[in-house]
């Protein structure tokens, strides 16, 4: 029976896969980079797992496979699970039932956050 990874692990896998980070704040992008480095360290010496991590960067259909590898690593090494969840919390991203939410902290003249835009969008 094929099981799905939990939503938080899927969010972590999605973030470290890369494309989602393009729209993040510099602070969140840096935190995701630290998270990705920690995962890469965990998979060091395991070429098939590193290959899955790299493949997920180019092929987002492989994110669920990466999430399952992360869940397996967390089960085998609970301390690793604590570390990556702690690093996730430092990204400033959070989970909802609908997916990942980018939370803005700080000062700015204008902040725009969007999700699921279908059709034209004009911002003046």
Q: Domain coordinates of the chain in residue numbers?
A: 7-102
Q: Which residues contact 29 (CB under 8 A, 6 or more apart)?
A: 21
CA dihedral sign of residues 25, 27, 31, 33: positive
The pTM (predicted TM-score) of the whole model is 0.69
Please give the chain's pLDDT, 124 residues, in tens: 445 677 788 888 888 887 566 667 778 788 888 999 999 999 999 999 999 998 988 887 888 899 999 999 999 999 999 999 999 888 877 665 555 555 555 677 776 666 566 778 777 7
**82, 83, 98 from 76: Cα distances, Å:** 12, 13, 29
**Residue 32: phi, psi to the nearest 5?**
-65, -35
């Amino acid at each position: 029976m094929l099981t799905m990874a939990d939503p938080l692990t899927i969010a972590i896998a999605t973030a470290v896969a890369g494309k989602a980070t393009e729209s993040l704040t510099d602070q969140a992008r840096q935190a995701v980079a630290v998270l990705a480095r920690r995962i890469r360290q965990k998979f060091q010496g395991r070429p098939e797992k590193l290959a899955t991590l790299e493949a997920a960067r180019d092929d987002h259909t492989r994110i669920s496979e990466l999430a399952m590898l992360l869940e397996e690593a967390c089960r085998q090494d609970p301390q690793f699970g604590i570390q990556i969840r702690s690093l996730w919390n430092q990204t400033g991203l959070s989970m909802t039932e609908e997916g990942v939410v980018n939370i803005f902290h700080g000062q700015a003249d204008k902040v725009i956050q969007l999700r699921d835009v279908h059709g034209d969008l004009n911002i003046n």
